[in-house]
Amino acid sequence: AWFGNKSAMEAVDRAHGEVFAQTVDSDGNPGYWSLLITNVDSPLTSLDDVLKCDKTLNFGIGDPNSTSGFLVPTTFIFAKNGIDPKDCFKTVRNANHETNLLAAANKQVDVATNNTENVRRLQVTNPEAASKIKVIWQSPLIPSDPIVWNKELDQATKDKVLSFFVSYGRLGTPEDVEKARAILTALQWAPFKPSSDAQLYPIRIMEITKQIFQTQADDKMSDEEKTAKVKELETEKAKYEQLMATVPQA
């Protein structure tokens, strides 16, 4: 089955699912990355510079519903370092990717969130603005869609299915390859690549981080209940952070 990452995670946890392949975009990327960007003339060069938290920087973050503009930096920068952006920066403003790109290019903010897809798009649509931007932090990979099978399938069937996916658009007669590539191109995909449940680790960490925020904001729970639940979630998150540090995702 072809899933998004969150639904694949549920299939793995609840329905004996297992990730075995992954979509790849037409540029050959197995996903995309969240970024911190600043103006090319800025003295900021690293995440450490941003996290001095001396309240001198104006920060542009994404819409709260944005994965790469909000959830990823919240998870892998601020929650990871125990920092509340409002206590770190002079100002914090929410905007979409395009607005944050141009704000950084025009020095209207000191640093902003974005992603690799939007930066590439700006390089095509507004190369002058794109030339005024530099990247100072890149997130873990936000993986593209996984392909999932039932892990209880017999090995012979698994071998055949995996062979089909990884050879599609790569192997066969020139005519077969051309036809398969045309189908993939129409979907804005390149040939599939092998994958595993490891591609879900960053998604799991983000989901657990979201649960922590929800627990902390739950006015129906006592302080003791919140503390216990957050401790449980933090332990689970640490497990996946350790796995991410040791198992390659791409």
E strand map for 44-94: 58-61, 91-94
Same-domain check for residues 17 and 45? no
* Mean pLDDT value across residues 93-103: 96
- Find out whether 142 and 250 touch, Cβ atoms under 8 Å: no
* Mean pLDDT value across residues 64-76: 88
The residue among 111, 139, 167 that closes a domain is: 139
Give the DSSP H or E segment for 150.
strand 146-150
- Confidence at residue 236, expressed as pLDDT on a 0 to 100 scale: 96
Same-domain check for residues 128 and 77? yes
Q: What is the pLDDT of residues 6-52, one digit of tens each?
A: 889 999 999 999 999 999 988 888 899 999 999 999 999 999 999 99
Q: What is the pLDDT of residues 141-195, one digit of tens each?
A: 889 889 999 999 999 999 999 999 999 999 999 999 999 999 998 888 899 999 9
Same-domain check for residues 56 and 90? yes
Same-domain check for residues 42 and 117? yes
Question: What are the tokens at 150?
Answer: 């039932």
Same-domain check for residues 61 and 73? yes
Please provide the DSSP assignment of 90-106 as one string. SEEEE--HHHHHHHHHT
Greater confidence, 114 or 65? 114
Q: What is the pLDDT of residues 189-242, one digit of tens each?
A: 899 999 999 999 999 998 898 899 889 878 899 999 999 999 999 999 999 999
In angstroms, rounded to a whole number, what is the distance separating the alpha carbons of residues 122 and 36? 15
Q: What is the pLDDT of residues 105-127, one digit of tens each?
A: 999 999 999 999 899 889 989 99
Same-domain check for residues 194 and 205? no
Same-domain check for residues 62 and 102? yes
- Cα atoms in the 13 Å half-sphere on the side-chain side of 185: 7
Q: What is the CATH number of the domain that holds 226?
A: 1.20.58
Same-domain check for residues 149 and 207? no
In angstroms, rounded to a whole number, what is the distance separating the alpha carbons of residues 2 and 145? 7
In angstroms, rounded to a whole number, what is the distance separating the alpha carbons of residues 175 and 195? 27
- Find out whether 127 and 24 touch, Cβ atoms under 8 Å: no
Same-domain check for residues 148 and 126? no
Map residue 85 onto helix, strand or coil: helix
Q: What is the largest CA-CA distance in the chain?
A: 66
Same-domain check for residues 63 and 82? yes
Same-domain check for residues 171 and 129? no
> DSSP label at 122?
H
Greater confidence, 248 or 203? 203
- Cα atoms in the 13 Å half-sphere on the side-chain side of 100: 30
Burial 29-61 (b: 16+ CB within 10 A, else e): bbbbbbbbbbbeebebeeeebbeeeeeebbbbb
Question: What are the tokens at 11?
Answer: 């299939």
pLDDT tops 80 at residue 249:
no
User: How many CB atoms neighbour CB 84 within 10 A?
Assistant: 11
pLDDT tops 80 at residue 65:
no
Q: What is the CATH number of the domain that holds 95?
A: 3.40.190.10
In angstroms, rounded to a whole number, what is the distance separating the alpha carbons of residues 231 and 91? 31
In angstroms, rounded to a whole number, what is the distance separating the alpha carbons of residues 219 and 83? 22
Look up the domain containing 23 and give its range: 5-28+143-199
Same-domain check for residues 122 and 59? yes
How many domains is the chain built from? 3
Give the C-alpha distances (Å, rounded to integers) separating 40 from 121, 123, 137.
18, 14, 14
- How big is the chain, counted in residues? 250
